[in-house]
A and B are shown apart, each in its own frame.
Chain A
Amino acid sequence: MFASIKVKIDKALYYRLANVAKIGGYSSTDELITHILEKEISRFDEAEDDAEVRKQLRGLGYIE
C-alpha cells in the first residue's frame, strides 16, 4: 500500500475519465489517471534530459 494524496478535478472530466478507464480495461479510474500523469511526467523528463544532452554535446564542441 502506498501513501496517497487527494487531488481535485472537475466532475465532468472525472466521469469522462471513468468511461475511458472502463473501455480501456483499466482496473479503476485512479489507475488510468495515474497512468496519464506518469506518461506526461515522462515526456517532461525526456525533454529535460534532451536539453541536458545538448548541453553535454555543446560542452564537447559537437554542436553550437
Chain B
Amino acid sequence: MGIQLVMYLETIIVSGLPRSGTSMMMQMLEAGGIELLTDGVRGADEDNIRGYYELEAVKHTRADSSWLHKSAGKAVKVIHILLPDLPVNRRYRVILMRRSFEGILASQAAMLERSGREGSSLPPDRLAKALERQMHNTRSFLEDHSSFEFIEVEYEEVIADPVGQAEQINQFLGGGLDVQSMAAVVDPSLCRH
C-alpha cells in the first residue's frame, strides 16, 4: 500500500510514554511530508524547544472522538495510556516510540522540577516497573486489535541512525516520504533530556 492510499484511509498515530521521543517523531513525519493534527495550545518551552505537537482534543477522546473525522492520512500524538480510548471501527498505523526507562524517568523528573508540578511519589525503580508493565499492556492491546498496525521505534536508534530509522518508518507507511528531510530534523543535541 503506498503512502497515498494510507493517507486516504488511515490515521497515523505517534504513541509511547511521555518523553520517549514522540515530539521528535512528529517533527520527522512533518519533514517527510505528512500533515500533522496539532492545535498549538501547548507551546514550545525549555523541555520541548520545538514544541509538543499535541492536540488537546485527544485527551477527551473517550467522550468525544469527533476530531478523528478529519484525521485520515494525518499524524497525531496519542500517549500510550490513551490508545484504548480510540474507537476500533477505524484503521490506524501506530509508531510506538521506545526509550530506556532511565532516560524517560530522568527527562520526566527534569520536566516536573522545571514546571513545579507534582508527579508520582513512587520510588524510581517501582515507577519504571509500572511503566514497563503499561508498555507491555499497550503492545498486547495493539496486537489484539486488528484496527491497529504498529511498528516499534527505539529513540536511541533514531539518534544513532536517523536515515536508517526514517527509511523503516517510510516503508511502514507505504513509501513516498522524504527520508533525508526526516533524518535531518533529528538533532542529537536536543537529547540531553
By the criterion CB–CB under 8 Å, are B120 and A53 in contact?
A: yes
The answer to whether A59 touches B117, judged by C-beta atoms less than 8 angstroms apart, is yes
Chain A residues within 8 Å of B130, by CB: 46, 49-50, 52-53
Q: Mark B113-145, 1 if CB is under 8 A from A, else 0.
A: 001011111100011011101100000000000
Cβ–Cβ contact A50 & B82, under 8 A:
no
A60 in the interface (beta carbon within 8 A): yes
Chain B binding surface, main DSSP class: helix
A49 touches B122 (CB 8 A): yes
Picked from A53, A55, A59, A60, the residue with its CB within 8 Å of the CB of B131 is: A53
Residues of B within 8 A of A52 (CB): 120-122, 127, 130
Q: Does A10 contact B (CB under 8 A)?
A: no
Q: Is B90 an interface residue (CB 8 A)?
A: no
Task: Report chain A residues within 8 Å CB of B119.
Answer: 55-56, 59-60
Say if the beta carbon of A63 comes within 8 Å of chain B: yes
Q: Would B134 and A53 count as touching, CB distance under 8 A?
A: yes
Report how far A64 CA is from B42 CA in the complex, Å: 14
Contact across chains for A59 and B118 when beta carbons are under 8 A apart: yes
**B-contact 0/1 string along A20-64, CB 8 Å cutoff:** 000000000000000000000000001001101111110111111
A1 to chain B, nearest CB (A): 28
Residues of chain B within 8 A (CB-CB) of A54 are: 81
- Minimum CB–CB distance from A26 to chain B (whole Å) comes to 26
Query: Quick check: is B59 within 8 A (CB to CB) of the other chain?
Result: yes
For residue B108, CB closer than 8 A to chain A, the reply is yes
Indicate the member of B82, B127, B130 with the most A CB atoms within 10 Å. Answer: B130
B79/A62 in contact, CB under 8 A: yes
B111 at interface, CB cutoff 8 A: yes
**Across the A-B interface, the 8 shortest Cβ-Cβ residue pairs:** A49-B130, A56-B120, A59-B119, A52-B120, A59-B117, A56-B119, A52-B122, A62-B18
| 20 A-B pairs with C-beta separation under 8 A | A49-B126, A49-B127, A49-B129, A49-B130, A49-B133, A50-B130, A52-B121, A53-B120, A53-B131, A55-B120, A56-B108, A56-B112, A56-B119, A57-B79, A57-B81, A59-B119, A60-B119, A62-B79, A63-B59, A63-B81
Having A49-B133, A60-B112, A62-B18, one finds 9 other A-B pairs with CB under 8 Å, namely A49-B127, A50-B130, A52-B121, A54-B81, A55-B121, A56-B127, A59-B115, A59-B117, A59-B119
